[in-house]
Structure 1
Amino acid sequence: MSRRPTIGILTSGGDCPGLNAVIRAATKSAIRLGYDVVGFLKGYEGLVDPVSYMPLDAQNTAGILLQGGTILGSTNKGRFTSLVGEGERVRIDPELLAQASATVQQFGLAGLICVGGDGSLGIAQQLYEHGIPVVGVPKTIDNDLSCTAFTFGFDSAVATATDALDRLHTTAASHERVMVLEVMGRHAGWIALHAGIAGGGDVILLPEIAWTFEHVCRKVVERDREGKNFTLIVVAEGAHLPDGGLVHAGNAGQGQVKLGGIGELVGCEVAARLGREVRTVVLGHLQRGGTPTPFDRMLATEFGAYATRLVHEGQFGEMVCYRPPD
Structure 2
Amino acid sequence: MKVGLLTGGGDCPGLNAVIRAVTRRVTDAGGACVGVQEGWRGLVRGMFQPLEPATVEASLGRGGTILGSSRTNPYKSPDADIPRLRRNFAAAGLDALVVVGGDDTLGVAARLINDFELPIVGVPKTIDNDLMLADFSFGFDTAVNVVVEAVERLRTTAESHRRIMVVETMGRSTGWLACFAGMAVGADYILVPEIPIDVPHLVAALKRQQGSAKNHAILVVAEGARYSDASPAVLESEDFGHPRLGGVGALIANVINRQLRVETRTVVLGHLQRGGAPTAHDRVLATRLGLAAAELVLRRRFGTVLTLRGAQIADVPLDSSALANRSLDLAFYQDAAAFFY
1:216 aligns with 2:210: no
2:104–2:240 contact (8 Å) kept in structure 1: no
**Overall identity of the aligned pairs, in %:** 44
Whether the 8 Å contact between 2:197 and 2:225 is mirrored in structure 1 is: no
1:104 Cα shift?
Answer: 2.6
The residue that corresponds to 1:85 in the other structure is: none
Verify: 1:70 aligned to 2:60, yes or no: no
Q: Distance in 1 between matches of 2:6 and 2:110?
A: 14
Match among 106, 109, 118 for residue 132 of structure 1: 118
* Runs of 5+ unmatched residues, structure 2: 313-341
User: 2 CA distance for matches of 1:309 and 1:251?
Assistant: 37
Instruction: Say if 2:25 is the partner of 1:33.
Output: no
TM-score, with structure 2 as normaliser:
0.87
Give the Cα separation in 1 of the matches to 2:178 and 2:160.
24
Query: 2:71·2:240 contact (CA, 8 Å) conserved in 1?
Result: no
Alpha carbons of 1:147 and 1:257: their partners in 2 closer, same or farther (altered >3 Å)? closer
**In 2: Cα distance, 1:232 partner to 1:242 partner:** 23
Q: What residue number does 2:296 align with?
A: 310
1:19-74 CA-partner distances (Å, limit 9, x unpaired): 111111110011111110001111111112x3110010012112000111111110
Q: Conserved in 2, the CA contact under 8 Å of 1:68 and 1:290?
A: yes
Aligned counterpart, 2:101: 116
Distance 2:242 2:7 in 1: 21
Distance 2:200 2:145 in 1: 30
How far apart are 1:291 and its partner, in Å? Answer: 0.5
Post-superposition offset of 1:95: 4.2
How many residue pairs are counted as aligned between the two chains? 311
1:100 corresponds to 2:100 = no
Query: Aligned partners of 1:65, 1:140: CA distance in 2, in Å?
Result: 18
Question: Does the 8 A contact of 1:92 with 1:126 survive in 2?
Answer: no
How many Å separate the matches in 2 of 1:287 and 1:322? 23
Alpha carbon RMSD of aligned pairs, Å? 1.6
In the TM superposition, residue 257 of structure 1 has moved relative to its aligned partner by 2.3
| Cα deviation digits, residues 85-119 of structure 1 (max 9, x gap) | xxxxxx66154333322333333322100010110
Normalising by structure 1, we get a TM-score of: 0.91
DSSP 3-state at the match of 1:59: helix
Match of 1:84 in 2: none
Q: Which runs of 5+ in 1 are unaligned?
A: 82-90
Structure 2 vs 1, CA of residues 324 and 254 (structure 1 numbering), >3 Å: closer, same or farther?
Answer: closer
Structure with higher helix content = 2
- How many angstroms apart in 2 are the aligned matches of 1:325 and 1:302? 10
Contact map agreement 2:7 2:38 (CA 8 A) in 1: yes
Instruction: Please say which of residues 290-299 and 223-232 is displaced more in the overlay.
Output: 223-232
CA distance in 2, matches of 1:325, 1:73: 29
Match of 2:309, SS state, is coil
1:45 to 29, 37, 41: 41
Indicate the residue corresponding to 1:282 in structure 2: 268
Alignment equivalent of 1:59, drawn from 34, 54, 64: 54
Name the CA distance, whole Å, in 2 between partners of 1:324 and 1:244. 36
Does 2:189 align with 1:203? yes
The equivalent of 1:80 in structure 2 is 74
- Aligned residues of 1:116 and 1:140 also touching (Cα < 8 A): yes
